[in-house]
């Protein structure tokens, strides 16, 4: 089965009681894409993945592979391969047998099985482990075996459910690169589930941000990061998290500005249509600069509450009006606690959200 596309149309997954894991999902996934389903626990991303694999039944809606409805096709008849968070290696089989199993079940001939396994093993650097049992392997090694098991299947779709979550930090980063290379080498559709936004940003062609069973936004890494569609997406992407200030939009002499207590920040003219609304202003920590020209240029001032050196960066906890925001400053800067500081802002990099709905208002971002 060569699958050119996977599409969800109005797919809902409901469990007994009123638990709705996925709510009217509409999603198109194209051949050879690397799609990442991103979101917090319980957002429905794993459920969505399981539905593609056939591991969960679909309550409502249609799932199509290449425009063929596959709702009723059981998991073992679909041409997908999957890597699990806990690797799920068969404990009673050797590494070789673990990898071979899927091929044996599909009656691939023995010589071909052998060829594929040896090939994958050398690519994953696990050739010396083929006769061992999973219990004799380290976490990283098991993960590679799990990858190998999926690779040799040469499936139409590659599914990965938080495969790196159980690895330590350093390994996680190197494995990310390897997975990216794998995708290029295999030229197959990859669908990857994670709650780690850094992973999503690094790996994805397109990211699907989900929350509470509903898609929040679909787009490339840049799009999602620079132009989030709502507060949720803006908060989820970016480390440290985006800063928020609650206030309203006023107009002075025809110029719209953001007002929060004593703070006033002028906004581009396009924000004029939102005068009078209660809004939330979003400022990413990295979107400040130490330079500003006095009057007229956007700036923000506050009292330094804390100085947080983080190796390659330095962050300041700045008390502005009723809350603390975190901003990134240069490593060599010398700010002290208690100091009053003014930092410059760039209008294009400000985000504006409706306070009630959380939706991004135009004129706020770039």
Partner 1 sequence: MSAQARFSRTALLAISSILLLLYVLAPIAWLVSSSFQSEREIVSKPPHWLPQEPTIGNFAAIFTSHERSVTYETRRATDPASGGFVPSTAKNLLPSLRNSFIVACTVVVLNLLIGLPAGYAVAKIRFRGRQASIYAILATRVIPDIALVVPFFLFIRNLGLLDTLASLIVTYLAITVPFSVFILINYFESLPDELDKAARVDGCSRWQTMTKIFLPLVTPSIVAVILFAFLVSWNEFLLALMFTQTPQSQTLPIVIASFTSDFTISFSFINAAGVLAILPPVILALIFERYIVAGLTVGAVKG
Partner 2 sequence: MTANILSPLRVQPARRFGYDERSALLFVLPLAVVLFAVAAFPIAYSFYISLFNLRLTRPNRISFVWFDNYVNVLSDPQFWEAVQRTVTFSVMAVVTTTVLGLLIALLLNEDFPGRRILSALLLIPWAIPSVANGLMWKWIYDSSHGALNGALFQLGFINSYMVWLGDASRTLALIANAFVWKEVPLATILLLIGMKAIPAELYAAAKVDGANAMRCFLHVTLPALGPSFALVIVYETMMAIRHFDLFFLLTEGGPGDASHVIAWHIYVETFRSLSFGTGAAMAYILALATLGLSYVVIRILGRRL
By CB under 8 A, name the binding residues for partner 1.
50, 53-55, 74-76, 80-82, 84-86, 88-92, 101-102, 105-106, 149, 153, 159
The residue among 36, 32, 26, 34 whose CA lies nearest residue 64 is 26
**Cβ closest to partner 2, residue 14 vs residue 246:** 14
User: Choosing among partner 2, partner 1, none, which partner's interface includes residue 72 (Cβ < 5 to 8 Å by kind)?
Assistant: partner 2
Please report where in the chains the tokens 């901003």 appear, as a residue: 327
By CB under 8 A, what part of segment 226-285 binds partner 2?
none
The residue among 362, 71, 95, 37 whose CA lies nearest residue 230 is 362
**Cβ closest to partner 2, residue 17 vs residue 254:** 17
For the four alpha carbons of 9, 10, 15 and 20, in that order, the dihedral sign comes to positive
Q: How far is the CB of 193 from partner 2 (least distance, A)?
A: 19
Q: Tell me the per-residue interface mask from 9 to 38 with partner 2, x by CB under 8 A, - otherwise.
A: -----xxxx-x-------------------
Please report where in the chains the tokens 């007229």 appear, as a residue: 296
Phi and psi at residue 82, in whole multiples of 5°?
A: -140, 140
The residue among 119, 79, 85 whose CA lies nearest residue 99 is 119
Tokens for 58? 């679909």
**CA triplet 348, 224, 9: central angle to 5 degrees?**
140
Q: How far is the CB of 56 from partner 2 (least distance, A)?
A: 8
User: Choosing among partner 1, partner 2, none, which partner's interface includes residue 30 (Cβ < 5 to 8 Å by kind)?
Assistant: none
User: Choosing among partner 1, partner 2, none, which partner's interface includes residue 59 (Cβ < 5 to 8 Å by kind)?
Assistant: partner 2
Tokens for 219? 């787009």
Phi and psi at residue 142, in whole multiples of 5°?
A: -60, -35
Q: How far is the CB of 62 from partner 2 (least distance, A)?
A: 13
Using CB under 8 A as the binding criterion, the count of chain residues that bind partner 2 stands at: 9
Q: How far is the CB of 57 from partner 2 (least distance, A)?
A: 5
**Cβ closest to partner 1, residue 97 vs residue 354:** 97
Q: How far is the CB of 59 from partner 1 (least distance, A)?
A: 13
Tokens for 100? 């071979």
Assess 41 for contact with partner 2 (CB under 8 A). no
**Cα gap 191→218, rounded to integer Å:** 14
Q: How far is the CB of 51 from partner 1 (least distance, A)?
A: 12
Largest CA distance in the chain: 80
User: Choosing among partner 1, partner 2, none, which partner's interface includes residue 19 (Cβ < 5 to 8 Å by kind)?
Assistant: partner 2
**Cβ closest to partner 2, residue 64 vs residue 180:** 64
Q: Is 247 exposed, middle or buried (0-12, 13-18, 19+ CB in 10 A)?
A: buried
Tokens for 248? 């309203």
**Cβ closest to partner 2, residue 78 vs residue 284:** 78
The residue among 211, 151, 210 whose CA lies nearest residue 178 is 151
Q: Residue 230 has what DSSP assignment?
A: B
**Cβ closest to partner 1, residue 60 vs residue 321:** 60
Name every residue whose Cβ is closer than 8 Å to that of residue 54 and which is 6 or more positions away in sequence.
Answer: 70, 73, 74, 75, 76, 77, 78, 80
User: Choosing among partner 2, partner 1, none, which partner's interface includes residue 252 (Cβ < 5 to 8 Å by kind)?
Assistant: none
The residue among 151, 71, 155 whose CA lies nearest residue 117 is 151
For the four alpha carbons of 313, 227, 169 and 144, in that order, the dihedral sign comes to negative
Q: How far is the CB of 228 from partner 1 (least distance, A)?
A: 33
User: Choosing among partner 1, partner 2, none, which partner's interface includes residue 53 (Cβ < 5 to 8 Å by kind)?
Assistant: partner 1
Q: How far is the CB of 66 from partner 1 (least distance, A)?
A: 19
Q: Tell me the per-residue interface mask from 52 to 91 with partner 2, x by CB under 8 A, - otherwise.
A: -----x-x------------x-x-----------------
Tokens for 364? 């706020």
Q: Which residues bind partner 2 (CB under 8 A)?
A: 14-17, 19, 57, 59, 72, 74
């Amino acid at each position: 089965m060569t699958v050119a596309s996977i599409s969800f149309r109005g797919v809902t997954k409901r469990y007994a009681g009123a638990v709705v894991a996925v709510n009217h999902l509409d999603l198109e996934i194209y051949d050879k894409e690397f799609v990442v389903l991103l979101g917090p626990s319980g957002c429905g991303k794993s459920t969505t993945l399981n539905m593609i694999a056939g591991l969960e039944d679909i309550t409502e809606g249609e799932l199509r592979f290449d425009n063929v409805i596959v709702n009723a096709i059981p998991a073992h008849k679909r041409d997908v391969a999957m890597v699990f968070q806990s690797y799920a290696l068969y404990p009673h089989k050797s590494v070789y047998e673990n990898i071979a199993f899927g091929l044996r079940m599909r009656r691939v001939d023995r010589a071909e099985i052998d060829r594929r396994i040896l090939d994958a093993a050398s690519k994953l650097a696990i050739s010396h482990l083929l006769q061992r049992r999973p219990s004799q392997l380290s976490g990283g090694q098991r993960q590679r075996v799990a990858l190998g098991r999926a690779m040799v299947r040469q499936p139409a779709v590659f599914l990965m459910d938080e495969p790196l979550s159980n690895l330590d930090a350093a390994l996680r980063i190197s494995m990310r690169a390897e997975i990216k290379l794998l995708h290029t080498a295999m030229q197959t559709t990859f669908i990857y589930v994670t709650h780690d936004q850094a992973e999503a940003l690094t790996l994805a062609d397109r990211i699907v941000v989900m929350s509470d069973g509903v898609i929040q936004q679909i787009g490339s890494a840049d799009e999602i990061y620079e132009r989030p569609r709502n507060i949720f997406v803006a908060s989820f992407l970016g480390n440290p998290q985006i800063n928020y200030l609650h206030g309203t939009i006023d107009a002075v002499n025809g110029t719209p500005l953001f007002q929060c207590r004593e703070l006033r920040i002028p906004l581009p003219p396009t924000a004029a249509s939102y005068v009078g609304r209660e809004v939330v202003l979003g400022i990413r920590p990295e979107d400040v600069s130490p330079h500003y020209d006095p009057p007229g240029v956007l700036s923000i001032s506050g009292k330094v509450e804390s100085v947080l050196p983080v190796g390659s960066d330095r962050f300041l906890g700045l008390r502005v009006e009723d809350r603390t925001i975190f901003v990134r400053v240069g490593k060599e800067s010398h700010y002290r606690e208690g100091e009053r500081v003014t930092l410059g802002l760039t209008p294009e990099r400000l985000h504006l959200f409706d306070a009630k709905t959380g939706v991004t208002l135009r004129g706020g971002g770039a």
